[in-house]
Structure 1
Amino acid sequence: MSTDRLDWDTLRVFRVVAELSSMSAAAARLGESPPTISRKIDELERSIGTQVFLRSTRGVELTDAGKLVLRHALAMAEAADTLHRETARGGELVQGAITIGTGDGLGPYWIAPKLTEFHREYPRVQIKVRVSDEPPDLHAGEADIAIVFQEPRDREIIAHRLGVQHYVGFASKDYLRDHGRPESIFDYHKHRCILHTSYVNQVDRWAPKMSELRKMVDFALITNSGTVIAESCARGGGIAVLPSYMAQIDPRLEPLDLPELAPVRFWITYTERVRRLTHGKLVIDWLMKIFDSHDAVWFSDDFIHPRDYLAKVRQLFPEKRREN
């Protein structure tokens, strides 16, 4: 078999299927359809001339050949990571500029704090972050990579689902002390409430109860800035609807003991041109990693209430209790 026939993206899909023992679970993680995942596994088996999975109604199981392929695939992935790190340290091969288009939530609060670590490994790759409520036009060069909240229909745009943002209510401890805690979302009309304008445009993706809530509540503050919402809420401005991960970002924000208001999916998108760039592929892989790492539990399909996450963190790391 010629290595020219190997598709490295297919090997990446194979690794995820092997990890999850399920093509449907791998499809959900990678933002692909189950038939697409199955097709890529079939392509891999044809290219290497052997079966890598035994399929059943319970999922998939690696064959002996599949276990061998997995061992080599993991070694190849590790070698690729090492190559990226070493060439970056040399400052010769991995360099260039990449523009990331994103909203004012994930960009400032999740991506930006991790850029220091990225640049420690890849100091010659320049990252430009373009923050906007509107998704950038990738064909027009408004961005190279975009994180969007609606799956693109353009066949020339490559898209992978990164995860789900779960929206919940937050308030400051001082505000809750002075005004009490709402016992349900229908108590929101008794409180000062804060809303992002983009939520108004996304109402069709919100739970029906959120539509009813919008009719009941006279919002004290409506803004197109996530920073304005977070700061106002943290300083006692009222109850804000924010993504659940803000509980990890800002300890001044107290999550309400209420169900989530909405799950909203989001995708990473880019063109084939960017994927073929060495530094473009590097940034794509890094973004997918920071939304799929062990501390990115906020973006899983299943909602994890911030109170449960914070309680577990404080149990495992008592020093966090003092910090918060």
Structure 2
Amino acid sequence: MDWDKLRIFHAVADAGSLTHAGDKLNLSQSAVSRQIRALEESLGTTLFHRHARGLILTEQGELLFDATTAMAKRLEAAEARIKDSEEEVFGHLRVTTTLAFGTLWLAPRLSALYDKYPDLKIDLKLEERVLDLPMREADVAIRMKEPSQADLIRKRLMTVRLRAYASRDYLERAGTPEALSDLSHHRLISQSPDSSQVSAGARMIQQLLQHEPQSTLTVNNYFGVLQGVLNDLGIGVLPDYLTEEFPDLVRVLPEFESAEVPVFLAYPEELRHSRRIAAFRDFVQDEVIAHRKHLKQLGKL
């Protein structure tokens, strides 16, 4: 197949319009249309259903679009490796992690990375869905479990535990629980049972619910749980990495916590020699070391 025609087909399929694809490729609509017709003739099939509102891929078109999408992502990876300077760190770096970790731990620390590499452009993708690194949905990931995808380089950064916390004002008003049975006099704030979360956290919440809290507030992410705790709404189940950033959090029921949750950094094997990846990896590892050192000084490890 003609590479140029495949490039034009991919642009049309992505845009859903000959006109929009032509604008992106700096080609006229008629030139784009001719290339698509020629590709369809060479394959002996129809790739698009045409109607007044735009173009829809046929089943054969979907198959070809899947292939060109994979090709495009591989080319992006190759381009990233080629552009990586041997001495400088610059360009785009797409980082994916969970909403809570990215918002509450990673983002506040990025100034140190930008101070060292001011030309770096970071795109943070904060979501619970595990993005496909080999398919170039992101360049590097920080996840709360060991990645299962093949062809990934992975580095264990630290471990996290889920613990129970409350604000000082809440405890002054409602009292400090001394045992799990005391939860019957308190409001429990936690992630929603049907939200994406680590299994250790889900098990901990189920155990706490067995003690029949007076009332509950469930949120679909830890950022929302944290806001509830900081605003004196009750006792929240939160990851322990927050204790450094929010020193007013008071740990309650200290004998009760989740199992360890490993935190991994991972990136595709093909980006092994990327200067941007190396810079980010080293930055995160340095921040983890500093974080643990500070927690030891505070007596929280």
Query: What range is the shorter-chain TM-score in?
Result: 0.5 to 0.7
Corresponding residue of 2:150: 155
Inter-CA distance 99–197: structure 2 relative to 1 (3 Å threshold): farther
Residue equivalent to 1:165: 160
Which letter maps to 2:108? Answer: P
CA RMSD of aligned residues (A): 3.0
The equivalent residue for 1:270 is: 267
Residue in structure 2 matching 1:295, options 287, 291, 294: 291
Q: Aligned partners of 1:191 and 1:272: how far apart in 2? A: 49
Please, what TM-score do these two structures have when normalized by structure 2? 0.63
Structure 1 residues 209 and 273: alpha-carbon distance in aligned structure 2, compared to 1, 3 A threshold: closer
User: Secondary structure at the residue paired with 1:296?
Assistant: helix
Query: Closer, same or farther in 2 for the Cα pair 1:194/1:298, shift >3 Å?
Result: farther
Match of 2:112 in 1: 117
Structure-to-structure mapping, 1:215-294, within 5 angstroms = 215-217=210-212, 220-256=216-252, 258-262=254-258, 263-291=260-288, 293-294=289-290
Q: Following the alignment from structure 1 to structure 2, what is the Cα–Cα distance between the partners of residues 217 and 297?
A: 37
- Following superposition, the deviation at residue 296 of structure 1 comes to 2.3
User: Is the Cα contact below 8 Å between 1:257 and 1:307 reproduced in 2?
Assistant: no
Within a 5 Å distance, the mapping from 1:100-111 to structure 2 comes to: 100-111=95-106
- Return the letter of the residue paired with 1:258: P
Alignment check: 8 A CA contact 2:131 2:138 kept: yes
Q: Which residue of 2 aligns with 1:178?
A: 173
Say yes or no: does 1:308 pair with 2:288.
no
Structure 2: stretches of 5+ with no match in the other structure: 1-86
1:165, 1:99 → 2: CA distance? 24
Query: Shift of the alpha carbon at 1:164?
Result: 0.8
Q: Which stretches of structure 1, 4 residues or longer, exceed 4 Å deviation after superposition? A: 198-204, 206-210
Q: Secondary structure at the match of 2:99?
A: coil
- Find the aligned partners of 2:202 and 2:104 in 1 and give their Cα distance: 24
Cα distance, 1:184–1:270 mapped onto 2, change above 3 Å: same
| Cα pair 2:193 2:202 within 8 Å, conserved | no
**Aligned pair in 2 of structure 1 residues 210, 93: CA closer, same or farther (>3 Å)?**
closer
Deviation at 1:171, TM superposition (A): 0.8
1:192/1:157 CA distance change after superposition, 3 Å: same
Query: Is the 1:162–1:288 contact (alpha carbons within 8 Å) kept by the matching residues of 2?
Result: yes
Amino acid at match of 1:135: V
Q: Sort the Cα spacing of 1:237 and 1:210 in 2 relative to 1 into closer, same or farther, 3 A.
A: closer
Structure 2 residue matching 1:290: 3-state secondary structure? helix
Matched with 1:138 is 133
Q: Specify the code of the residue in structure 2 equivalent to 1:245.
A: Y
Distance 1:135 1:281, change over 3 A: same
Structure 1 308/278 Cα, relative in aligned 2: closer, same or farther at 3 Å?
closer
CA contact (8 A) 2:190 2:205 kept: no
After superposition, the Cα gap between the structure-2 partners of 1:186 and 1:200, relative to the gap in structure 1 and judged at 3 Å, is farther
Structure 1 stretches lacking a partner, 5+ long: 1-91, 311-324
- 1:68-119 Cα offsets, whole Å, 9 max, x none, are xxxxxxxxxxxxxxxxxxxxxxxx8321111111112221121111111111
The one-letter code of the counterpart of 2:257 is: L
Q: CA deviation at 1:237?
A: 0.8
- In the TM superposition, what is the alpha-carbon distance from 1:222 to its structure 2 partner? 1.0
User: Quick check: 2:180–2:253 contact (8 Å CA) kept in 1?
Assistant: no
Deviation, 1:308, is 3.2
TM-score by length of 1: 0.59
